[in-house]
Amino acid sequence: MIALAFTCLVLGAVADDQIVKKDGTVIPGTVISIVGTQVMLKTVTSRGGEAKIPYNLSDIKSVSMATPAVVVKAETPGTSPGAVVAALEPQINRLAGLPADWIVDAMARLAEAYLALNQPDKALGIYDEIDTLYPGSKYHAQAVAGKADMSLKMGKFDEALAAVQPIVTEANQNIAPSPAEGAAYAHAFLVYGAALEAKQKPQQALEAYLTVKTMFYQNANLVDEAENRAKTLREKNPGIGIE
């Protein structure tokens, strides 16, 4: 009876977004926000009205939701850190905790923008929030890579290397990474390459940067960064190549 009632309720729903529950149920609608431990979903009833229904995050496997245009624009290479913060922070405040790849990518991008604005406490808070909201998930690597990047910027090169080494090892064994995994791997390889540069290992650093471009190219910003670093490294080390 419950399933029948729900079917009637969402009969006229526009399937812009989809919640996929752990039991396999697929629920169409429009994601509005995260409220506490629930996702608020707007649906269209069979009578043409609207209903807002909460679903427990603990019951949800994933959420299919197109990346908002404002987020896509903010993640365009060359966007200023201030513009990134202005665009992404409202989206993250509304949807942090949503089990969707784009929101975690946006959180990582926001943290990077705060670092660029010399606000490391806010960046660290976002990385901690990723681990808090997505415990034991595939997104953990994103938080690890971000914190390692902070260690790197503080001159703690060995600490940064030690943090990302397990991610680098995992990445080298993953022949078909998901977009979320690819973005996390790319971030880790950028940190890995920069730490190797700092330790006077330019050839290994170049290989790390080129790996982002050839293997983990899901995030355009990270690919752009890898290309710039590889170019600069080659200019500093004429004739350098990889084996």
51 shares a domain with 83: no
118 shares a domain with 25: no
The residue ranking higher by pLDDT, 3 or 21, is 21
Total count of residues recorded for the chain: 243
pLDDT category at 243 given cuts 50, 70, 90 is low
CATH at residue 185? 1.25.40.10
101 shares a domain with 32: no
57 shares a domain with 76: no
Residue 25 lies in a domain: yes
122 shares a domain with 228: yes
56 shares a domain with 76: no
pLDDT at 4: 36
Report which residue type is found at 8: C
- The continuous run of DSSP H or E covering 17 comes out as strand 17-21
Return the closest-CA partner of residue 138 out of 173, 168, 162, 167. 167
135 shares a domain with 58: no
Q: What is the mean pLDDT of the chain?
A: 89
CATH at residue 39? 2.30.30.100
The single residue listed with the structure tokens 């729900």 is 6
- Virtual torsion, Cα 100, 101, 103, 104, nearest 10 deg: 120
219 shares a domain with 133: yes
Q: Which residue range forms the structural domain that includes residue 140?
A: 69-236
**Which whole number is the average pLDDT over 118-144?**
92
97 shares a domain with 13: no
* Tally of structural domains, the chain: 2
DSSP character string of 50-99: EEEEEEEGGGEEEEE-PPPHHHHHHTSTT--HHHHHHHHHHHHHHHTT-S
217 shares a domain with 119: yes
The single residue listed with the structure tokens 């939701």 is 65
Residue 203 has pLDDT above 90, yes or no: yes
The share of the chain scoring above pLDDT 90, in percent, equals 73
158 shares a domain with 99: yes
pLDDT at 42: 93
Q: In what order do the strands lie in the sheet with 17-21?
A: 50-56, 38-44, 26-35, 17-21, 60-64
DSSP character string of 185-208: HHHHHHHHHHHHHHTT-HHHHHHH
According to DSSP, the residues that pair with 40 across neighbouring strands are 33, 54
141 shares a domain with 107: yes
Residue 74 has pLDDT above 50, yes or no: yes
